[in-house]
Chain A
Amino acid sequence: MRYLIRRLGFFVLTLWAAMTLNFFIPRMMPGSPEEALRQRLSKGGAVVTPEQLRTVLAEFGFDPGQNLMLQYVEYLRSMVTGHWGVSIGSSLGSPVTTLIGDALPWTLGLVGISTVLAFVLGTLIGTVAGWRRGGLIDGIVPPVFIVTSALPYFWVALLLISLFAIGSDPILPNDFNYDQGLTPAFTGEFVWSVIKHGILPAATILITAVGGWILTMRNNMVTTLAEDYVRMARAKGIPGRKIMFGYAGRNAFLPNLSGFAMSLGFVISGTILVEYVFNYPGLGYMFYNATVSTDYPLLQALFLLVTLAVLICVLLCDFAVFLLDPRARTKG
């Protein structure tokens, strides 16, 4: 119970800190939505005065003249109540919830799946490598994945593009989430298109993320295998596979689980770059765009969402550890 309250306190505090940072940082810095908008308008040849722009922005719910503290309080309230307002950036006027709602499934589908996949795969490979200490896999795994875990996301993306998606008739598309001509529907053509467009970004995330998991899992595994209870399990004649997963693997996995949640922040950073390189219209791309166009409402909502996602994941992993590890259960 006490444990629960502590975690909840942490949750709320972190959220508040994130929201506060997110509110003040953009406002402390030069540049404003008016200028961003003004810049964009001049491309179409229109000359719009700053006053007029303020009028337009005010109509969309952004009033820069207001007292900062009032804005802050207003902001906190609307964030919590889910009134996230409308975009004042390049999607001027679109409700932030709609924008996010459109992008979210793509990010969840692409990034969510490939991140979890990377984690699961990495953990499995790491388990096997650690188990077969000194074997063929273990000989290859550490050096190879030290290298992949140090590769920049965007570089892997570029490499994949230049290998598979360059030329007049590329093997795989390197851009967008599905072919532009298609209308979203549950047709074979559409699904195939979505998959084709997802392969390269997903591969990028997999390649760069899986290494870290393999290495940590392998190392945890090696440490765990030296534990007496693994030797004991062998002494008891328990079959190898069962020891590998049930005894060594499970115990080596526990510290990884909390690591997974904590590293989600890193994963999200990779996402932004991957979505940017592949022009994948997900949350990461949207985040970049919102930043560049000073889109406060969108930026704030995205930041909140991302923080929330990480926090919820941390809580879930805490909970999982709680379930899997009886020691944690009694400690709480």
Chain B
Amino acid sequence: MTSTDVTETGVTESAATPLLEARELTRHFRVGRGFGRQMLHAVDEVNFTIGRQEIVALAGESGSGKSTIARLLAGVYKPTSGEILYQGRSTSTYRSRKDQLAYRGDVPMVFQDPFSSLNPAFRVSHGVLRSLKLHRPELSRAERFEEAERVIEAVGLSPAGDIMNRYPYELSGGQRQRIGFAQALAHKPKLILADEPVSMLDVSIRIGLLNLMAELRETQGVSFLYITHDIASARYVADRLMIMYAGHVVETGPTESVLQNPKHPYTDLLLGAVPDPRAPLSTGIEGDTGEPPKVIDPTPGCRFRWRCPLAIDRCHSETPLLRVLGKNHEAACHVAEPDAN
């Protein structure tokens, strides 16, 4: 799977360079030490783009590599191969701390767990103030405080002056998660990587944060990579949906298009499993126990083939690539039919 024509077909359609582009992004992890060394393919040759002021949802089952992609983009992990182009420039060309800081300022991250993403030893303003100090060094101390108050208020926490001086344990989960957004917002970002930012929260609070995301996109013009395994919430906020399975992006396209007309059998399975009180109970694949695969030293072939009701011989020998099957709608499946129109 070395062809690069996917990138060409995938990206050339948008005239301007996308905000961020991943090319053949790959990350492997070594598991076990010494003799029993094996490679876990967490993310394998993934291509995607994120446009300006766009919310891209990344969904998929647990362990499919969603967080790994976020971490690769955030620069926590180095890619095993492939590259990340930010505003057309590869991040691997960043040498100076200034370049790196600039990128980090533009692409912050919001974490999944509001209970562990704030340092319990500091007031909740700590992270916001540090971000300001690092990324907007021109501000004076007082200005930083002002600015912090502003962003904390911007995420709907008030009175900001009071909230700022609390310790994390004095805030509820929803409030903490908002602080997480405030931290990301502090330095005028272009793209926020949000790794399951609402999954740990109660349903009653979730929607508020999703609304906040949409609002931030509108008012501040930031883009989001919204990672979730909750398809319904992805539909609620995202313009585009990417579905991952076992380290591969198996389907991507405009949210509605993917939901109404899933091309990949995994997407089908996933959508069927989403409980929806307003819809009748759908039938999933009979006998599927939903066990996700571990991708250790994989052989070529479709990674979903063991669970796939439609699998053909070819699926066992050849890894399917993303194919354009509809308007902006791509899927990596040998048997999926293109749209009629």
Distance from B255 Cβ to chain A, minimum over Cβ atoms (Å):
39
Task: Answer yes or no: A43 CB below 8 A from chain B CBs.
Answer: no
Residues of A within 8 A of B (CB): 2
Distance from B44 Cβ to chain A, minimum over Cβ atoms (Å):
27
Distance from B147 Cβ to chain A, minimum over Cβ atoms (Å):
44
Task: Answer yes or no: B34 CB below 8 A from chain A CBs.
Answer: yes
Residues of A within 8 A of B34 (CB): 2
**Which B residues, 1 to 59, have Cβ-Cβ distances below 8 Å to chain A?**
33-36
- The residue in chain B whose Cβ has the minimal distance to the Cβ of A5 is B34
The CA of A2 and the CA of B34, in the complex, are separated in Å by 8
Interface majority SS on A: helix, strand, loop or mixed?
Answer: helix
Count class of interface residues, chain B: under 10
Residues of B within 8 A of A (CB): 33-36
Distance from A332 Cβ to chain B, minimum over Cβ atoms (Å):
11
The CA of A2 and the CA of B33, in the complex, are separated in Å by 9
Interface majority SS on B: helix, strand, loop or mixed?
Answer: helix
- The residue in chain A whose Cβ has the minimal distance to the Cβ of B33 is A2
Residues of B within 8 A of A2 (CB): 33-36
- The residue in chain A whose Cβ has the minimal distance to the Cβ of B35 is A2
- The residue in chain A whose Cβ has the minimal distance to the Cβ of B36 is A2
In the assembled complex, 4 residue pairs joining A and B whose CB atoms fall closer than 8 Å, in A order, are A2-B33, A2-B34, A2-B35, A2-B36
The CA of A50 and the CA of B33, in the complex, are separated in Å by 58
Residues of A within 8 A of B36 (CB): 2
Distance from B31 Cβ to chain A, minimum over Cβ atoms (Å):
13
Residues of A within 8 A of B33 (CB): 2
The CA of A293 and the CA of B232, in the complex, are separated in Å by 81
Distance from A9 Cβ to chain B, minimum over Cβ atoms (Å):
11
Distance from A325 Cβ to chain B, minimum over Cβ atoms (Å):
19
Distance from B194 Cβ to chain A, minimum over Cβ atoms (Å):
32
The CA of A2 and the CA of B36, in the complex, are separated in Å by 9
Residues of A within 8 A of B35 (CB): 2
- The residue in chain A whose Cβ has the minimal distance to the Cβ of B34 is A2
The CA of A2 and the CA of B35, in the complex, are separated in Å by 8
Distance from A10 Cβ to chain B, minimum over Cβ atoms (Å):
14
Distance from A4 Cβ to chain B, minimum over Cβ atoms (Å):
12
Distance from A27 Cβ to chain B, minimum over Cβ atoms (Å):
38
The CA of A2 and the CA of B37, in the complex, are separated in Å by 11
The CA of A218 and the CA of B114, in the complex, are separated in Å by 33
The CA of A219 and the CA of B204, in the complex, are separated in Å by 38
Distance from A172 Cβ to chain B, minimum over Cβ atoms (Å):
54
Distance from A6 Cβ to chain B, minimum over Cβ atoms (Å):
9
Which 4 pairs show the lowest CB-CB distances between chains A and B?
A2-B34, A2-B35, A2-B36, A2-B33
Distance from A329 Cβ to chain B, minimum over Cβ atoms (Å):
15
Distance from A328 Cβ to chain B, minimum over Cβ atoms (Å):
16
- The residue in chain B whose Cβ has the minimal distance to the Cβ of A6 is B34
The CA of A229 and the CA of B36, in the complex, are separated in Å by 33
Distance from A34 Cβ to chain B, minimum over Cβ atoms (Å):
50
- The residue in chain A whose Cβ has the minimal distance to the Cβ of B32 is A2
The CA of A302 and the CA of B253, in the complex, are separated in Å by 74
Distance from B34 Cβ to chain A, minimum over Cβ atoms (Å):
5
Distance from B169 Cβ to chain A, minimum over Cβ atoms (Å):
20
- The residue in chain B whose Cβ has the minimal distance to the Cβ of A1 is B35
The CA of A78 and the CA of B35, in the complex, are separated in Å by 35
- The residue in chain B whose Cβ has the minimal distance to the Cβ of A2 is B34
Distance from B304 Cβ to chain A, minimum over Cβ atoms (Å):
28
The CA of A104 and the CA of B33, in the complex, are separated in Å by 41
The CA of A148 and the CA of B35, in the complex, are separated in Å by 48
The CA of A285 and the CA of B36, in the complex, are separated in Å by 48
